[in-house]
Amino acid sequence: MKATNRYLKGMLRTGVLAAVWGACVAIAAPVGLPPVPVPENNPMTPEKVKLGDKLFHDTRFSATGEVSCATCHDRAKGFADGLPVSEGINKLKGTRNAPTVINAAYLRTQFWDGREPTLESQSAQPFLNPVEMGLKDHEPILKIVRADREYVDLFKKAFGKGGDQITMVEVEQAIGAFERTLIGGDSPFDRYYFGGEKDAMSPAAIRGLNVFVNQGRCVSCHVIEQTQALFSDNRFHMIGVSANQMPRDLDELTAAVEDVKQKGTDIAVLTNPKTSSLGRYAVTRDLTDIGAFKTPTLRNVELTAPYMHDGSHKTLEEVVQFYNNGGRMNESDPLPELLSGGIRPLNLTEEQQADLVEFLKALTSPQFVQK
């Protein structure tokens, strides 16, 4: 908690606030990252961040009193959970791998299928999902924060509000503000590529960068720009992961869509692997989006194994092998029929694949490494 506060104060002190960016005010960020976009209606303050930090770690907002946001977004695990798919109350399993919160502030949509537009609106969903925190509604949260003395004090300081004036809007805004402080740049790659430190990356990682932007074609989706690198295009692609879960015919597709309509997207996709496999289609119902998932950032990827939206790849080596074979683990595996056109066999040598992994390991921000 203290660390993030210090970080934010540092940012405020160096006068990096307030570049106007669209409807947002932006906070400057470390080397390799653009200013952090901040919504106009939720300006950053140290008090709000402190409150959000506490809310983020509070296990009382779950049906069993054992699960908080931090259960699946654990600072010690790169703000992910190290599991293939997340476990909520009573060890109930979802269908998707917890994405890191680090740099989530930059994403144009939240969740693997982009079903929520902002950190604020995203933050309210897991409380109510039966396989996550399992509350029936948000009332228990409001009851606690309106009565708990520490929260009463924090809400007063952050929003100047108390009692019934505190609603989920303030809760969401505080969590969103906290998450906007979880910014990770300043990796060996950043120092090498943007900072001009020629020895910041190992020779293998430098060769890996060359594979990344050329023959590997990784950069087409995991974007690196002239002055910054988010390593995501914020788009959705069907890359072949868990293709065997996808609806095989119209009946199965109809059933999955019916599931979404009845339970709502958030609950339907996290409680049924078949429905989950729809990906972005569950949100847009556009055929191009069947099985398409959001391009995740690659920053700090070494800290957040296992990989892919279903956690089906244990190591970065496996991920590279999967892409090298054009969206499948082995050349003999069948090609997924609705595979995105960008996914093609890469013909990388063993050494190129190893170099690529070394490059991915150079994307780690030092402040998130456990010492």
Partner 1 sequence: MDINRRAFLKTAGAGLIASAFPLSLVKLAFGADSPVQDFTFGYISDAHIQQIKGDKFVRNWDMGLIRAVREANLLTPRPDFFMFGGDLAQLGKKEELDHGLEIMSRLRGKVHYVTGEHDYYLDLGEYWKSKISPLYYSFDHKGVHFVVLSSILTYDNWIHKNWGDPMQRMLAMARLDNPDGSPFLVGEEQLTWLKKDLEKIAKAVPIVVFSHSPIQKIFKPWNFWTDDADAVQALLRPFEKVTVIYGHVHQIQYNQIGNISFHAVMATAWPWPYPESYTQLPNCLPKLTVPMNRADPFFERDATGWQFIDLSSGKTAMRYQLPDNTNRAVAYNTRTGRPEDLNYQEYQQRIPPQIHY
Question: Which residues of the chain form contacts with partner 1 (CB under 8 A)?
Answer: 220, 249-250, 253-254, 257, 284-288, 335, 337-342, 344
Question: In terms of CB distance, is 225 or 286 closer to partner 1?
Answer: 286
H-helix or E-strand spanning residue 259 = helix 250-263
Smallest distance, partner 1 to C-beta of residue 240, A: 12
Smallest distance, partner 1 to C-beta of residue 203, A: 30
Q: Residue 173 corresponds to which tokens in the numbers above?
A: 């805004």
Question: In terms of CB distance, is 253 or 354 closer to partner 1?
Answer: 253
H-helix or E-strand spanning residue 236 = strand 236-237
Smallest distance, partner 1 to C-beta of residue 257, A: 6
Question: In terms of CB distance, is 64 or 244 closer to partner 1?
Answer: 244
Smallest distance, partner 1 to C-beta of residue 247, A: 8
28: nearest Cα among 16, 10, 40: 16
Question: In terms of CB distance, is 228 or 284 closer to partner 1?
Answer: 284
Smallest distance, partner 1 to C-beta of residue 99, A: 23
Residue type (1 letter), 79: F
Separation in Å, CA 294 to CA 215, 242, 247, 268, 352: 22, 14, 19, 18, 26
H-helix or E-strand spanning residue 172 = helix 168-179
Given a contact cutoff of 8 angstroms between Cβ atoms, the answer to whether 269 and 278 are in contact is: yes
Smallest distance, partner 1 to C-beta of residue 344, A: 7
Q: 37: helix, coil or strand?
A: strand
Question: In terms of CB distance, is 51 or 243 closer to partner 1?
Answer: 243
Question: In terms of CB distance, is 138 or 235 closer to partner 1?
Answer: 235
Q: 116: helix, coil or strand?
A: strand
CA 297 to chain CA mean position, Å: 8
Smallest distance, partner 1 to C-beta of residue 348, A: 17
64 burial type by CB count under 10 A (0-12 exposed, 13-18 middle, 19+ buried): exposed
Question: In terms of CB distance, is 141 or 282 closer to partner 1?
Answer: 282
Q: CA angle 83-253-282, nearest 5°?
A: 55
Question: In terms of CB distance, is 168 or 338 closer to partner 1?
Answer: 338
Q: Please report how many Cα atoms fall inside a 13 Å half-sphere around the Cα of residue 43, on the Cβ side.
A: 9
**Do the strands 236-237 and 36-39 form a parallel or antiparallel pair, or are they unpaired?**
unpaired
Q: Residue 348 corresponds to which tokens in the numbers above?
A: 């990388």
Smallest distance, partner 1 to C-beta of residue 332, A: 13
